[in-house]
Chain A
């Protein structure tokens, strides 16, 4: 296999694992990025720490592309405000749009997400909207200028896996942008399955942050994502509707 890079907004990445940086120690980030092989790491924007608190930027290797999210936004306008502040922080033009009005299930507001995507794409951002997997919304996001579409697998932080499998499959089949499965992926096997289906990449945070050994789980996810990608590129073997098909020569042992 020569070049199988992931291309987002004209930028190329050899890794298909986008790593979250929330809910774990800054000191683990470097090992997590290394063992995940991640080239994109998500961040949030909040009121600046005062006093002597350390900056997360000191722990993320310089070659990593930062993907600020707009978490905390409840409307398109708030997301746009956060995205502009993130860009002012001087770490590039990527932004993951995340807009939620619902604080119990943390489900994204698709309509506000379309509006924010349109505004930010016009301002030159590489816009990666987190969304509830709906084909019509995904098409609207494409038209609004998104660089990728990030459907949820199950509620954020739930580790419940591909609850929206069939709807993500529709996006993969119909949308001509990278489909990056975000939120809810709890195990490497689930990441692998999404990649086998043809997802372009996997974003995970809680699955690692709540694992027993974070760097080891990062490595497990990396391998699962790479395995799923290779399986997708290969094309999966067929499934029989019924019956069996011998893998051995169809002769009896020691008989003609």
Chain B
């Protein structure tokens, strides 16, 4: 199991690119952090999710 934005998911072995393609996230409008390290967009294809990963996916919202 691994966590994406706090939710436990069984996605070990899936690439980040494949996960995002099936996800409700708009890949153009997000930034991804894996275990505290930013994953550049160019590395989505080569990033294979593993058990224990903590993934954070963020975007811009209104703020002051």
Residues on A lying within 8 angstroms of B by beta carbon are 20-24, 26, 29, 42-52, 55-57, 66, 68-69, 71, 81, 84-86, 88-89, 91, 156-157, 183, 203, 205-206
B30 in the interface, Cβ–Cβ < 8 Å?
A: yes
In the bound complex, do residue A42 and residue B63 qualify as a contact, i.e. CB atoms below 8 Å apart?
Answer: yes
What is the count of residue pairs linking A and B with beta-carbon distances less than 8 angstroms? 97
Which of chain B's residues have a CB closer than 8 A to the CB of A44?
Answer: 60-64
Q: Is the interface on chain B under 10, 10 to 19, 20 to 34, or 35 or more residues?
A: 20 to 34
Which of chain B's residues have a CB closer than 8 A to the CB of A156?
Answer: 64
Closest chain A residue to B23, Cβ basis: A50
Q: A45-B59, A48-B59, A55-B59 known; A21 and B64 CB under 8 Å?
A: yes
Q: A57-B29, A84-B38 known; A46 and B59 CB under 8 Å?
A: yes
Which of chain B's residues have a CB closer than 8 A to the CB of A85?
Answer: 31, 33, 38, 56, 58
Q: Among the interface residues B24, B58, B62, which one has the most CB atoms of the partner chain A within 10 A? A: B62
Interface string of B27-53 (1 = CB under 8 A from A): 001111100101010000000000000
Which of chain B's residues have a CB closer than 8 A to the CB of A157?
Answer: 64
Which of chain A's residues have a CB closer than 8 A to the CB of B36?
Answer: 81
Q: A48-B25, A48-B58, A50-B25 known; A88 and B63 CB under 8 Å?
A: no
In the bound complex, do residue A45 and residue B30 qualify as a contact, i.e. CB atoms below 8 Å apart?
Answer: no
Point out the residue from A23, A52, A88, A203 that lies within 8 Å of B40, measured CB to CB: A88
Task: Give complex CA distance A3, B59 in Å.
Answer: 36
